[in-house]
Structure 1
Amino acid sequence: MKQFIFLVVLCLSAIAAESQSSSPPVRTIRRILNRNTVDTIQVNSLLNLSRYYIFKAGEQIHDLDTALLMIQQSRTLSQSLSYHKGMANADFCSYLAWLEKGDHRQAILYAQRAIDRFTRYGYWQLLGALYLEMTRLYTLDLDELPDKIDCYQKALLSFERAGDKARQMDMYKELADHHQVQENYVQALAELQSALTISRQIGRTDLERIYDLMGFVSTKLGDYKEGLTYGLLAVKLAEERKDSTIQLCTIYNRLGLTYYALGQFKQANNYYRKALRIARQFHETPYVLALTSNIAKLLLHQHKPQQALRFLKSQIEQYPPITAESKLIVAPLFLDIYAELNQVKLAHSYCDQVLDLLAKKGDGSVGRAPIYESAIRFLITSKQFTRAHYYLQLNAMQCRENGSIKDLSRNHLLWFKLDSSQANYQAAIQHFQRYEALQDSLLNATKSQQIAQLEIQYETQKKDQNIKLKQQAIQLLTKQSQLQQNQLQQANTIRNGIIAGTILLILLLGLGFNRYQLKQHSNQLLEVKQIEINRKNHDLERIVQEKDNLLIDKEQLLTDKDHLLEEREWMLKEMHHRVKNNLQIITSLLHSQGSFLKDKEALSAIRESQNRVHAMALIHQKLYQTDRLSSIPMVSYVQEIVDYLINSFNRVDTVRKQITVAPIDLDVTYAVPLGLILNEAVTNSLKYAFPDGRVGTLWVDLMGDKNNTYRLVIGDDGVGFPADLNPSRSRTLGMSLIRGLSEQIEGVLDISQQKGVRISLTFVEEKNARVPA
């Protein structure tokens, strides 16, 4: 008792300085401590007051010491009262105080004591709260993240035993958020489905964070439709609730990432900008730099490096990166931009800065692979092959440790480029084959993830159905009770009915006996007829059985036919896939060979060969990517060839394209010659029609009529042919190819020039005929 009075004096002295501005709870606790009665109320008051000092804004060391003193006295009083909950809570508060002091060893010691007491006496709600606080012991670094997730899982189990649905929903959300950081997207989606199910059970409406995470995780799984649906739903709910927190910034940013993955850059930029405005309102530098990175990457992807550079500089002037983590966001962007602008010196400086930051920060964290890729690409381009080889090995090792197949596949592709640049073609092919194998495994993994996602949806629907069945069972039991009462009421009516029925039964028996004698005679006649009917039925059954056997044989033959057709279709697709891959390897080898040639004519020949191979590779790519194995959609095919050639000759800013192609699907035997003719004609225009960077227009028209007659027109408004050149007698490889391919498809070729060059080819597609090779 004396110790308690002494502590009360100390506690009142400690809060005397707070007396003028203390909050109502503190004043209430002060009145309780003034009482002379020693009971559990005194214990809980001391613990509540200790929490006040632990979580006090701007607490000092002496505040935490005061809190520890109060906790110790509450523990002593709890022991004297045999108050187990008070002793357990005292250990919990000790953990919080030592954690605030920064002494993790002491904090973990008291946390374990609290866990033992909470578990022994079944205080599951408090145990869940303790595990939730213990997540503060760990960071999101790769080596600490599993421990943090383990604490959330134990908190979830505790809240389940306590029956706290709201906290269970929160734990599922936290687990999903941390599993997506681990790139365990299937597990994260399962947890989000559980959180959504619980939220519906308890009537929660603040679901925007759940929908936001579901959209983000679905996008990571490659399910962009679901990602967009959930992302837009999260935005809708947040805007309807007039959310003004930093969470809205995250929702906008993740929806922008989904649009970026879909290639809808305008919408992506719109949501990135919305998120950036919110981040700037809250002066959150990490958010601002992350969104600046996304917008700059978008501009760089659209081949706008100067605009990306101006935007990046304008943002970091206002929000300069200070920490190593924030510098790792900005420095790789500068490296990519200056490399794109061919400012090698500046790019080299940022490359060294990026690699230095990675060495100091540690290269084992998730998400480092894209940073290494930027540095390695530059090292290969700037012919720093030894350094590139070192960092390729380092990145491959980290990708294997992190289990990132996607990053490892891209690393092999970079290794392929390095070996190709060094003319080490055997190693280059091996790395490219590894890249292809990993890409195929990624495709299979994506399918497995989608199957797992469907299984999760099925299990969720099954749980919902079970809940509905239970509700229906309750309703059924209620109805059965009412039915029993009705049955009791009807019992008397039934008894009276039985008496009346007995009398009627006697009368009916007499009548029935008379009818029985009459039927006996009729039955004898019917039996004779039935024998004849049975004989005919037997014959009919035999005929029907024979017919059924014939139908079964027919169905089996049809099944075998369908199976063979499916195998043929699969083999054709696989053949086109492999042909396309081989043509890509040829293109890469030509590109690598070209990097060692100095002669301009040889370089031009190599480039033209690359373009011809690319035109044929596109055919095979179209064939295995669609369900049509013998026809090519000419709209996308023509568009991709022209875009590829303009980009290849770096004439995006000087040559404007006008492409008009009817929605035509041509047989592959026509599409291949047309693709090569288009390649030669466009290549000729880009090389000679607009000399010295002259601006001009290139147009391509492909039209047809109902008689399967088609007309391909390729023209430009360039300088035209030289005066001494006759196109019809030219023996150049390009013109020879155009004339030869035109004859191959029996087309009428016309070459003229008036304000440029105009090449017209008219041909007829014979649906059931094969163009001669």
Structure 2
Amino acid sequence: MKYLLALLLLLALTSQAEPYYPILSQTEVDSLRSKLRRSAPDTNRVKLLVAFSNDLTSRYYYMQKPDTIAVCIRQAQALSKALHYVAGQIDSDYALGYLLRKDPGGREVVLQALARSQQQHNRRREAIGWYLLCETYEKSMALHPQRIRYLEQAVRLFGAVHDQVQEARVLRELADAYLMQGKPARARQELLRSLALYRAAGYRKQHSSLDLLAATDDALGNYKDALQHALAAVASAKRSQDTLMLCTYYMRVGAVYQQFDQREKILQYYRLAMRSAEANHYTQTALGLTSTIARVLLAENRPQEALALILEKSKAYPPYDDYTRLAVAQGLVSCYLRTKQYALATAHCKQVESFLKSKNVVDNTRVLHGAYLTIGACCLATKQYAKARTYLLKSLAAGQIVLTRSSMAHTCLLLYKVDSAQGNLPSAIAHYKRYKAINDSIFSEKNSKQMAGLQIQFDTEKREQSIALLTKQNLVQQLTIRQREFQRNAVLGGAVLLVLVLGLGYNRYRLKQRSTRLLEQKQHALEAQQAEINRKNKALEQVLGEKDQLLEERQGLLVEKDWMLKEIHHRVKNNLQVVSSLLATQSRHLHDPQAVAAIRESQNRVQVMALLHQKLYQADNIGRVNMADYGREIVTYLIQSFDRQQSVQTKLELAPIELETTLATPLGLIINEAVTNALKHAFPPPRRGTLTVGLLCLAPQLYQLTITDDGVGLPPGFDLKRSRTLGMVIIKGLSRQIDGQLAVSTADGVCISLQFDTRKKPVYADAEAVA
């Protein structure tokens, strides 16, 4: 490899943190939800709310947290305070601190709960507090001593209360801190203690500690042990079906194979990591892996494949900041240079130059080193020798700081080519000598690593052969034992069988005499039973004939009922359209703009209900409405009604959910009112903007409707509870009608959010699409 992405450099030193509270299985989550619905407002409900919120926080550990978590925690805090339940107050505060661990207020919440735990002399909760306090600090070198002190306090207290699983979990984080501090030997000691405690407690999910142990062995140069522990982490995660961090474990295996330069294995595990990241929606990790896999493909002389991969994944996962945009641009420059598309390489090289002044890049020497090298290589290929020299010298200087020998060697080689092209022979010779010196040292190290890799392969094959030989020996022994047992059992079985045959012969003789007498008696009884069966068959045939006639009549009535319901919906739709036409006619005779606007809004409401009945009339399943089609038609109609096609762009994210009419009607009216308000007030001419309407499934039978715009927002001091505008009154009234939770926020425009539960209302959805 010429050089690696910062993602892998970080991976070689540490591993990704795991959630403090393990994620519950789906069965456990369903049980928790069921208990919550039935629980009374007591201390047990506080415990259930805290457990549910902690599981959600862990489940969304690396993603944006849903508002449901904060709602559960606030309920637990309020109930604990009302019950004067001190333990519940501590646990609910910890849950809030765990949720807000990276926000400014999270640390204060944890400190408050920690102080209360110390006042109560509750050592177990105090231990949790020290751990969560450590979680509120970033993993920076400056803060490592402070984080280590907190973790050591947590380890001591968990050991005092004999909680082996929690003690092992905190030891793993302590080892991570020591590794980041540059003490891999001390980190390895703590990890071995962590694994021993896990085994003593019978805890199966040891993959996080095994992964960090692999990173530690890698840092210590124990590549054989690193590979074994990395593969063990993957196996442990699969065995326990805990796939949240599986992509990280695959990346670890690929990084260890990187040490042996076994590129097929590297590509195999990085691609497995890519699939796992995409399955868990880790878009940032997937984007970083794209550049890493592309560099391996370039080293394999497969530039077309690398280019296709970067273009595909950067389109699927757009870069989200200057750092990721720089990484994608560098990858494209390298691919275009290898495929001799110099015009495209130069265009993306200019993008790389534009990112050098970004605040995310300017202080990162490692990133600057790679960017300078990319620009210098592009300028050399396009014969801009003076510019190439400037950037290559900058790259060489940065490389001496971050000590990336392979890329420094490549930089010296490029400087040699620049000097040769400009006729500067002394400088060219000096750079070539330096290139050879660095390259020779890398080659020697690579040879030793390859020898270690071959030794690992030899040991593995030898172990497999020994296992196969022992297996064969065991099979031969088992076969011999079975053969002897079969011979003994055959003799005994023959003797027993002879006795049984003689006994059965005598018994059959006696039974035959008795059976002859019984058969004569049964013959008379069977004749009488046959006559009775014939009589009952005739009666049954008559009953079945009458049943078939009734079924045919019922089927006809059902068809007639469906036809009548469709006709009713059709006529209601027609009547509503007549009302809409009357309102439109009335508006043409009015001169007051407010009256005309009121008439048009009423006409829109009528049209929304008419669309609903039209959907019911056209649907095969009467009584249910496809909300995706219904919502799309409402928004399209309103955009056309207000003539805002040019100034307002719509974005619809509607899941294909089918709702009963009792739910579809108020939801349609709420969409009408919210979209109407946005079109009237959010985008005053000549302002343009985007209007987003979404209907998502948050959990089984729990849905969320959102209408968001990026317009001028609500006036200062707006209060949803005190608002008396007709639109808001209608929205609040309809929200109460369906027992929904309504929220309005004004960050970057207006966002109206409505959560509603359909447990008491039938709902039908395409399970795959909603999931």
Structure 1 length-normalised TM: 0.44
Structure 2 length-normalised TM: 0.44
- Where relative contact order (Cα < 8 A, 6+ residues apart) is larger, the structure is 2
Which of 1 and 2 has greater Rg?
A: 1
